[in-house]
Amino acid sequence: MTNQQTSDWISIGVDTGGTFTDFVLSIGNRIYTHKLLSTPSNPAEAVLQGLEEVVSQIETMGSASLVAKAHLTVTHGSTVATNTLLERNGAEVALLTTKNFEDLLQIGRQNRAELYNFNLVQPVPLVDESKRYGIKERICHTGEVQVPLDPTELDQLINQLPSIEAIAVCFLFSYINPKHERMVVEALVKRAVNRSIPISTSHQILPEYREFERFSTTVANAYVQPKVQKYLHFLHTNLATRLNRSLASKPRLRIMQSNGGSISVETASRVPIRTALSGPAGGVIGAYEIGKTAKYEQLITFDMGGTSTDVSLCDREISLTTESQIGGIPIQIPMIDIHTVGAGGGSVAQVDLGGALRVGPESAGADPGPACYGVGDLPTVTDANLFLGRIDPRYFLGGKMSLQPERSTKVIHQLSTEVGKSPLETAEGILRVANATMARAIRVVSIERGYDPREFALISFGGAGGLHACELAQSLSIPTVIIPPHGGLLSAMGMLLADVVKDYSQTVLWQANEHLYVQLTNQFRRLRQKAETELGNEGFEPELTQYQLTLDLRYSGQSYELNVPFDEQFETYFHQAHAKRFGHSRTDYPVEVVNLRLRAIGYVEKPKFASTSEKIGATSDISAQPFEQKEVVFGEPRLTNLYHRQDLSVGVVIASPSIIFELSATTVVPPDFKAKVDQFDNLILSQSESF
C-alpha cells in the first residue's frame, strides 16, 4: 500500500469555523465547494451534514458513477481541543509528579504578560490542587536514578485516586530517562485503571527540557483527550454510516494538526493537543501553496473569518514555533507560527467605559450571529460592511443566505447615538478600528521580528478577508494583495494540500566541540529510525517520504533558542539567524545545542492548480465590464462597479472602486487600487501607480 492517490480517490477538506463550516472536494481535475453554518453545540453535526450535501451535489451534477466507485479521504481541521481549552470545560485530570513539585503548574514562571498591571490574574491551572499527587522519586539531569520509585507507595497512591477522567504523569528529567514514568503506566495498567481513563506521559508528549512547559503541555493533552476522543469516535462512526451508501469503501478520516500536516484518527486520539489551532494552520498551508504557484514566495497570510483574524509570515517557507499559548496555557509543540486577534466579521462594536468605540474581541459567532442574520441585536463588522454597501444582500453566500439590511441599519443607528457621530461615520469607524487591530497583528509577525512588510505580498482569505485586505495593505505599505479563488474556503483547501507530518524532538544540551557534528548525526539516526517505522506503518513507501533535520541553538548562558537547519554549517546559520532577529551576533562565543528536531513528511497527491495561460493573449489588459453599478461609501458615496468573479476572464483589469462577488467571499477594490486576474485565476490587487 502507498498513500499516493489515484483517480478513484475523492479528497474532501473540512474546516470548522466559529461561524461557518467549509468544504472543498477534489475529484479528478475538478473542485467542488460547499459552505454552511456551524453547529457550536456539536460541530460534528455540521461536518456530517455538509459531507452528505457535497457528495449529493456532485452526484446530481453528473458524477454519480465516479462517486459510486470512489474511495473517500476526509481531512478535517477540528476546533474541539482549542475550544475545550478556551472554554475550560475539559476533563477532571489527576497529575502524578515528583514529590514537592505538585505546585509547579501554579508557580509557572516569573514573566509578566502585563508589566504594569498590578491586578493581573494568572490563568487557573487545569488541574485542581486536590488532584496533584507527589511521588518520591528522582532522576538526575544525567539520567541517573538518584531516588528509586517505590512500587508499594505507587500502589497505595493509585488506590487513593478519586473519580477522574484522565491522568497526566510528569516527572523531572523524564525526557532523558523515562524509566519512572513507564513504571507508573505499568502500575496503572496492572490495576486496570487505564481501561477507560487515558494516560498522558510527558516523555511521550514532549521529551524536552523546561519542566513547566513540558508539564503544562502534557496536562493540556490529558485535559482535552476525553472530549476529543468522544468527538472523533462519533464523527468516524457516523461518517461511515452516513456516506457508505454512496462509496466503494469505508471513508478514511484524517485530522489536521497545528504543524500543517495531518495525522490518523488513532494518533489524534492519543495526542489530541497536536490538533489545536489546526484550522488556521490549514489556511496557511493553502495560502503558501497558492502564493508559491503564482511566483510569490514572500507572503503574509491574512485569514479573516467570522470570529477572529489569523496572520502568519512566510519568508520562502512556512514559519514554525514551539512557543504558543491557548487560553493562557503554554503549549510547547511545533505549530505554524500564527498570531491571532479577536477581529472578525462577527466582532461586536460597542462603546467602552471611556466613551471610545471598541470592536471585538467579543464575537456574535454563528449563534446569534450579526444583526443582519436575523437573530442578533448587536452591531458587528459585517453589519458595518452591509450598511456601507460593501456587502450586497443579494449575493451573500452566492445568494443562498438571506440577510436583513434593516436590522443592520437599526443597530448602527443605535450605536451612532451612543458614539455621537453620524451612522455613516460610525460604520466607517467600526471598520477603521477593526483594521487597526488587524494591522497591529501583521506588525507583530513582520516588523517586530525583523521583516519589512514592503518586501512581502499580502495573501488574503477567509470569508471577510477580501473586504479589508486592500486598506490593510495600504496602511502597511504592502505593495501587492492576492485574493485566491474560493478565498473564503482556503482553510478547507489547505486540508487537501496537507501532507502527513510527524514531529520528533529530543533535548541534549550539548556544547559545541569538534566531535559534535558526529554526535548529532548519530542522535538524529535514532530519531529517524522511529520516524521511518511510524510512516511505514501508515503505508508510506520510502520514495514518498522526506526528513527535515533542525536544531535549537543558543549562545551559552542564554535562556531561549533559535531554530536552524542541521548540516555541517549549523553554527554559521545560527550566527546569521541571531543577527537577523536581534541585530547582533557573537561568532567568538560558544554555542550550545538544546534540542534536536526531526520532521517526517509522508507526501500525498494534491489538487493541481492548473494554469490557464493559453487564454491570456486574447484577454490580457482588457477592462472588465461590470454587470451593475451602485453607490458604496468610501468616505463618501462613490459609484461602484459590481462583478461576479466567475465572469472575470484571465488577464482582465478591474478598475476601482469595485466589488467582486463569489460564493465564499466578497472582495472590495477601493479607490486608488486596481485588480487583475492572473493565469491561476487569482485576483492580484495593487495601488494604481504601482500596478
Instruction: Assess whether 196 and 71 both reside in one domain.
Output: no
**In this structure, what CATH number is given to the domain that contains residue 257?**
3.30.420
Instruction: Assess whether 72 and 101 both reside in one domain.
Output: no
Integer Cα distance of 16 and 495 in angstroms: 11
User: What is the band of 581 on the pLDDT scale with cuts at 50, 70, 90?
Assistant: confident
Which of 1-15, 83-97, 403-417 is predicted with the least confidence, judged by mean pLDDT?
1-15
pLDDT tens for 267-311 read: 999 999 999 888 889 999 999 999 998 999 899 999 998 888 899
Instruction: Assess whether 550 and 625 both reside in one domain.
Output: no
What pTM was estimated for this model as a whole? 0.85
Does residue 689 surpass a pLDDT of 70? no
Q: Is residue 407 part of a domain?
A: no
pLDDT computed for residue 5 by the predictor: 43
Q: Is residue 571 part of a domain?
A: yes
Does residue 616 surpass a pLDDT of 90? no
- Domain extent, residue 45, equals 9-84+228-275
Query: What are φ and ψ of residue 672, in 5° steps?
Result: 75, 5
Instruction: Assess whether 667 and 571 both reside in one domain.
Output: no
Does residue 553 surpass a pLDDT of 80? yes
Contact 477, 454 (CB under 8 A): yes
Residues forming a β-bridge with 458:
300, 481
End-to-end CA distance of the chain: 49
Mean pLDDT of 653-668: 91
Q: Into how many domains does the chain fold?
A: 4
Q: Is residue 488 part of a domain?
A: no
Q: What is the DSSP letter of 262?
A: E
Q: Is residue 80 part of a domain?
A: yes
Instruction: Assess whether 92 and 80 both reside in one domain.
Output: no
DSSP 496-565: HHPPEEEEEEEEEEEE--TTHHHHHHHHHHHHHHHHHHHHHHTT--GGGEEEEEEEEEEETT-S--EEEE
Contact 678, 662 (CB under 8 A): no
Does the CA dihedral 83-88-91-97 come out positive or negative?
positive
Does residue 450 surpass a pLDDT of 90? no
Does residue 82 surpass a pLDDT of 70? yes
Q: Is residue 43 part of a domain?
A: yes
pLDDT computed for residue 361 by the predictor: 86
Instruction: Assess whether 176 and 157 both reside in one domain.
Output: yes
SS3 for 406-437, per residue? HHHHHHHHHHHHHHCCCHHHHHHHHHHHHHHH
Integer Cα distance of 442 and 454 in angstroms: 12
pLDDT computed for residue 166 by the predictor: 94
Contacts of residue 617, Cβ cutoff 8 Å, sequence gap at least 6:
none
User: What is the band of 193 on the pLDDT scale with cuts at 50, 70, 90?
Assistant: low
User: What is the band of 575 on the pLDDT scale with cuts at 50, 70, 90?
Assistant: very high
State the average pLDDT for the chain.
88
**In this structure, what CATH number is given to the domain that contains residue 102?**
3.40.1360
pLDDT computed for residue 37 by the predictor: 83
Does residue 417 surpass a pLDDT of 60? yes
SS3 for 365-396, per residue? CCCCCCHHHCCCCCCEHHHHHHHCCCCCCCCH
Instruction: Assess whether 169 and 124 both reside in one domain.
Output: yes
pLDDT computed for residue 68 by the predictor: 56
**In this structure, what CATH number is given to the domain that contains residue 567?**
3.30.1490
Q: Which three cell numbers stand for residue 474?
A: 495600504
Closest Cα to residue 321, out of 90, 545, 581?
581
- Looking at residue 477, its amino acid is S
User: What is the band of 586 on the pLDDT scale with cuts at 50, 70, 90?
Assistant: very high
Q: Is residue 652 part of a domain?
A: yes
Contacts of residue 296, Cβ cutoff 8 Å, sequence gap at least 6:
457, 459, 480, 482
Does residue 313 surpass a pLDDT of 90? yes
- DSSP strand pairing (20-27 vs 30-37): antiparallel
- DSSP strand pairing (166-170 vs 93-98): parallel
Which of 240-244, 456-460, 600-604 is predicted with the least confidence, judged by mean pLDDT?
240-244
